[in-house]
A and B are shown apart, each in its own frame.
Chain A
Amino acid sequence: MTREEILAKATEIFRDVFDDDSIELTEETTAADIEDWDSLMHITLINEIEEAFGYKFGMKEVLGMKNVGEMCDILEKNT
């Protein structure tokens, strides 16, 4: 899967979870950029990304991600 495809697929998931079709993810997107992205929604997001990409993040990976780009790095390497 290309980087663009990963980003597009992740965008779909974010739109579903936040029920907001206006969300556009970039490599630099962080929790500060999306209004409802709090720690609780974060859990749901991680879970849904894992389900959609068929990859379970390790705890260290979950704790280490700084932005959407870093998440894509992990998914690019592993899926």
Chain B
Amino acid sequence: MKELEYPFDADYIVKKARRLRKELLADGTQRIEKRIAVLGGATTHDVVRVLELFLLHHGIAPVFYESEYNRFREDALFPEEEFASFQPDVIYLHTCLQNIREWPLLSDDAGTVQGKLDAVTSEYVRIWEALKEKHHCAVIQDNFVLPSYRLLGNRDASDVHGRVNFVDRLNAFFAEYAATHEGFYLQDVRYIAACYGQDAWCDPSAWYLYKYAQALSAVPYLAHNLANMIKSVFGKNKKALVLDLDNTLWGGVVGDDGKEGIEIGEETATAEAYTAFQRYIKAQKDIGIVLNVASKNTEDNARAGLTHPDSVLAPEDFLYLQANWDPKSDNVMQIAKGMNIGTDAIVFVDDNPAEREIVTANVPGVAAPALTTPEHYIRDIDRAGYFEVTNLSEDDRKRVQMYRENAERMKLEESFTDYHAYLLSLEMQAEIAPFAPVYYERISQLTNKSNQYNLTTKRFTVEEIKAAAEDPACITLYGRLKDKFGDNGVVALLIARVDSASAAGQSAASGQETGIAEQSAASGGEAGVAEKDVVSGGETDAAGQGGPTAEEGVVAHIELFLMSCRVLKRDMEVAMMDALYEQCRARGIKTMYGTYIPTAKNGMVADFYKLRGFTQVESETATGSAATAAAGDEKDAAGNGGTDAAAGATATAAGSTDAPGTTRWRYDIPADWQPQCDVIEIAGAL
């Protein structure tokens, strides 16, 4: 929604919040449901109201829990039933300076001040640990804005008695905690308040009258920033830039002014501004953003500009360099298709408002920030928060290289007529092993991003992945695939829940203990990995079969099986199932159950279990469970240009019945079972 794109009119948003909400809810977008608990040391009402708008804009339909004013401590440490059973996907702690109870006094010695600092930090640590312990979900904590007065003047910053000094040390402690604790994120309110203007942000009457930590007009900035973090946690960041060249990456028109005539380098103020912008764009590669060009130029001219001696960016920095005279919307669509990502994962950067208009009008979901003047380009893009980095995995850093290798594989494939021979020629090696801590972030990311090759479309936070990995009743496997062109990283995941024979005679609810996510237990759905997207309808297990029968002994239910589309048709799924069967045999499991929950996006795996030799079983108890999880992110990782968004809308229904077409499958592992995959060598650690 245009009104919510940065730079926005904050007062308009506050004023029109109701109308905007209505319009967002009626726009037919398919959204993932997320449960968000907001615990406040200040009033949170308008924060929640405006946050909802930004989240809806990002394709997230929030369900909120709001603490009473200044009850964040009690809710964390001694929760009442309503919060205890809320099952949040993310908890946001909106606390502020006014919550600090004891400040340094001039009469304190250094030790006393340290004691006061420790009192604050230890209380917060207790709160964070309690929340993590009870809720296993992402926690977002505000840091502190600077105090509004300085008793000691400038010395307030350097003297231990100064409030500025005290707040700086608190913020440093919070930052250190965030840097060393997975699933804990610091919202840098201090930064956005500084950008907004500290004095305007800290409106004293907003506090005295209403107990708001910031002026009401500042709330959209807070909510915008917070929504960016939340969308990032749930894998909804943008992934690629498509950049114009003339007057965007350099000053002037290379076709008219010639290579020597464009403004780039350090010679003039304008050239410096463009150079700084190029450096900023180049740095995006380090966080895994893929750079592309869409320019109305001949390819020779485009390359001439990018090989200018002062150009920071070179042709090799781009995955797709589209220099032609086609409409830019066509070029953007082609780039999305080539990268196999949704068009809503693209940010289109062009100084020309007419081009931006054409692209936004014809490419669903694309972002096209309004560029102002070259010296402000960086800010125009940066403040929008498209690429908000909450977790930085090794794979993010390597992503650009991977897209490049994929392009080379496509070339090689075209040279083979026999597909099996092509697969062998790739010299593939895989590392398949139980979830390891080093991959938790990547694994969580994958569960949130993968829509197409995904049997159940269940989403997991890092915390839930960790819980699954540590649960002895879960078989977890990740697959990392390498070939002669390079390393694809972790591309396949599965989680299977072991249903032991001892549980057979009991009601299905006993499975709670073996559930991966503790939250699922409270909902009565023992679906183990029970996703909280799900309106847990109370269906009891993934196979819809209750506990195993005595003859079956121990069985395993495949609750998650997904693969990144970057390794489609490489037989990686076969290697993953091989590894699963081996794990099953080691545990004495002879029978597997699998579920396919159809969504608007995952039609490609409708026959997955059939192809793997499973037989379909009756699903007379097929209700509830992960049905609504299936809604999935529209237009995410796997492309389709968002054309299926409308079709997907119907699948959003938040009911507790299965998505129509859910199928359940069974496989009995034969005694003489042999591995099926013959094109991938299973290696140890790659």
- A contact set with B: CB distance below 8 Å: 13, 16-19, 40, 43-44, 47-48, 51, 56, 58-59, 62-63
Contacts and interface: CB of A to CB of B under 8 A. Distances in A.
A48 B205 CA distance: 15
A19 B17 CA distance: 9
Given A13-B15, A48-B14, 10 more contacts: A16-B19, A17-B15, A19-B22, A44-B17, A51-B217, A56-B205, A58-B205, A59-B205, A59-B209, A62-B209
Contacts of B45: 40, 43
A53 to B, nearest CB: 12
A44 B14 contact: yes
Contacts, number: 42
Contacts of B18: 17-19
B673 interface: no
Contacts of A51: 11, 15, 217
A19 B22 CA distance: 10
B177 interface: no
Interface residues of B, number: 17
Contact of B216 (A18, A47, A62, A63): A47
The 5 closest A-B pairs by CB, nearest first: A19-B18, A47-B216, A40-B45, A51-B11, A19-B19
B210 A48 contact: no
7 contacts: A16-B16, A19-B16, A40-B45, A43-B45, A44-B46, A47-B216, A63-B209
B208 interface: yes
A24 B323 CA distance: 58
Contact of B205 (A16, A17, A62): A62
Interface of B: 11, 14-19, 22, 45-46, 205, 208-210, 212, 216-217
Nearest to B18: A19
Given A40-B45, A44-B46, A47-B217, A16 B15 contact: yes
Contacts of A58: 205
B13 to A, nearest CB: 11
Contacts of A63: 209
Given A19-B22, A51-B217, A44 B205 contact: no
Contacts of A19: 16, 18-19, 22
A59 B203 CA distance: 11
A47 to B, nearest CB: 4
A62 B45 CA distance: 19
Contact of B208 (A17, A47, A48, A59): A59
B56 to A, nearest CB: 16
B516 to A, nearest CB: 38
A43 B205 contact: no
Contacts of B209: 43, 59, 62-63
- B18, B19, B212 pick with most chain A CB within 10 angstroms: B18
A59 B217 CA distance: 17
A43 B46 contact: yes
A33 to B, nearest CB: 18
B47 to A, nearest CB: 11
A44 B22 CA distance: 18
**Most chain B CB within a 10 A radius of its CB, from A16, A43, A47, A48:** A47
Given A59-B205, A59-B208, A44 B216 contact: yes
A17 B212 CA distance: 19
Given A19-B22, A62-B205, A48 B46 contact: no
Contacts of A62: 205, 209
A57 to B, nearest CB: 8
B19 A48 contact: no
A43 B45 CA distance: 10
A63 B208 CA distance: 11
A15 B577 CA distance: 60
B209 to A, nearest CB: 6
